[in-house]
Structure 1
């Protein structure tokens, strides 16, 4: 489907010519997800999160093991879980991801939850598939600082892991199997059944009057122009700071982040400069919509955003412990 069909911007927003949007068809890594259509006559610009796609449980388990394995890093000191804590919010609560001697500040860590529902990956949207993202994470000096060939050599020396690869793929550890197992596991990291999803499915009692009012305001202001679809964003590129500065000026064009579980993923923005959800709402309205919101309006929008917190393995997504 074309995401452009879902856009409902505030009047005059695009006439300014200041926004840069890039929309395209859903990528291959979303093909296995069955996103349900809303009932006729009840169309909303946001759709519920579907269950994860069917997958071989052995492959998911292998990917989960690898995701937590520090042998994927160059120095053996960190795993994917070092920055992406799936026991809490799928990210962390640090302002910046610590680098391996990186010369410049890094972008804020994004949650791995629902990443499989994003049309591109990374803050700048340069990565097209989960497999490519896994390789980038392993080999980036600012992330794991390793090499896939070195990782495979370590895994081949582990008889138990080598046997697990053979059981799943019919062969020992290789590049395709490593990246595929990680990607398959990441496709399982979806968080359905938020209260907003329950409301979308017809449970009118799932939202309070304040939360429903916040959603109405979210739409009428034009926030939904960029934050819509199954992931409430993450399906287009956008210039930030259209009317007023928002955060660090570079990168100037970013993949619009998903707002799924946003109440649990502070700090906010690509530079982690907004410490609270209310501050993020206030700054976004001013920078992107030229709207100075009253405290009551901020409270109502924040109340709606809190209803986007989903569940993983039967429990609500929560912020990490400090």
Structure 2
């Protein structure tokens, strides 16, 4: 694995010439605005390219909670209003399969081994361990709200939850199995056979296995964060500091990459534009969602940022060439904590 960067503040990328001027204004301020504009344009183009996957996804008919107020329509972020029904036969089967160690070759792990739904939908490790006991190359992303992303995993290698489920089962370092072997094991279980028939009208097969896992993962969305409630028109949902942080988040240019219903997850971006951010590879990453971000330390694709405060400072420096004041960091972190939603009525990360 690539070596970690211990102090990204001291290694500026020159890009052929030395940058001049104060970063708090002047030319550097213009650079930040230009960068945000470019990233925003890239976001639009990438979103358009990703719509085909969204439009063709077989999402269960969602149930919409009653509206409290009129949704604010002039913001770059949007609330989660629809939650797919977790009680369908397919989703219930997928929930069982998600925790079933028979999906791994040796029966030692399930999807829930690295994606703890009782906490943050991921794990608390910098890098999880593979079947061989060695660390995996990238930090485990949360499964919460993954269904809202236009591509899946850090490198955006998969368009659909079904494709990602197959790849995970067949990854020799993660589950080390094959979908055919998993289906054979499940077909030997009369209770599983009955559940597949109830959900899809047939005995266990590859399509049913992948569909069930995807049907369940589509229900793992976390609405009702304080920020969602504010977006729905509840003026009292955010504190003054949280609102100040949101304004900083927008004015600095963070919202150029972290926008939409998933507060990210809908475009690719290079990291380390001005200064190194984390391990240099892979350089091009799918921008992660910031929903429930306070519950998912450590941060970045290599897990090298232990706290949200450190992650915010490094991101501003590496991506926007901006040194934040303590107050800016504090207010932005307050806003980010207001993105913590609820999973089936319980706050994500709550004990």
The CA deviation at 1:41 is: 7.0
The corresponding residue for 1:99 is 130
- Residue 35 (structure 2) aligns with: 13
Which runs of no fewer than 5 residues in structure 1 stay unpaired? 1-8
Aligned to 2:329: 298
Counterparts of 1:311-322 in structure 2, within 5 Å, are 311-318=342-349
Q: 1:11/1:79 Cα in 2 relative to 1: closer, same or farther (>3 Å)?
A: same
- RMSD between superposed Cα atoms in Å: 2.5
Taking structure 2 as the reference length, the TM-score comes to 0.83
1:257 match: secondary structure: coil
Moved more, 49-58 or 81-90: 49-58
Secondary structure at 1:11's aligned position in 2? helix
Task: Note closer, same or farther for the CA distance 1:30–1:154 as it changes in structure 2 (3 Å cut).
Answer: closer
Superposed displacement of residue 167, structure 1: 1.5
Shift in alpha-carbon separation, 1:221–1:149, aligned structure 2, 3 A: same
Helix, strand or coil at the partner of 1:238: strand
* Cα-to-partner distance string for 1:207-245 (whole Å, 9 max, x where unaligned): 000000000000000000000000000000000000000
Normalised by the length of structure 1, the TM-score is 0.90
Q: In the superposition, relative to structure 1, how do residues 16 and 212 fare at CA in structure 2: closer, same or farther (>3 Å)?
A: closer
Q: Tell me the number of residue pairs that the alignment of Structure 1 and Structure 2 aligns.
A: 311
**Deviates most, 279-288 or 95-104:** 95-104
Contact 2:245–2:331 under 8 Å retained in 1: yes
**Distance across 2 between alignment mates of 1:16 and 1:172:** 50
> Are 2:121 and 1:90 aligned?
yes
Q: Is the 8 A contact 1:20 1:239 kept in 2?
A: no
Question: SS of the counterpart of 1:279?
Answer: helix
Distance 2:193 2:73 in 1: 50
Contact residue 247 and residue 269 of structure 1 kept, 8 A: yes
State the distance in 1 between where 2:61 and 2:323 align.
38
Question: Residues 138-159 of structure 1: CA distance to partner in whole angstroms, max 9, x if unpaired?
Answer: 1111211111111111101111
Q: CA deviation at 1:97?
A: 1.5
Q: After superposition, give the CA deviation of every residue in 1:170-189 in whole Å (9 maximum; x if it has no partner).
A: 11100000000000000000
Please point out which of 57, 64, 82 is paired with 1:29: 57
Structure 2 residue ranges without an equivalent (≥5): 1-30
Computing the radius of gyration from Cα coordinates, the structure with the larger value is 2
Q: Tell me, yes or no, if structure 1 residue 108 matches structure 2 residue 108.
A: no
1:207 aligns with 2:238: yes
In the alignment, does 2:220 pair up with 1:189?
A: yes
Distance 1:283 1:63, change over 3 A: same
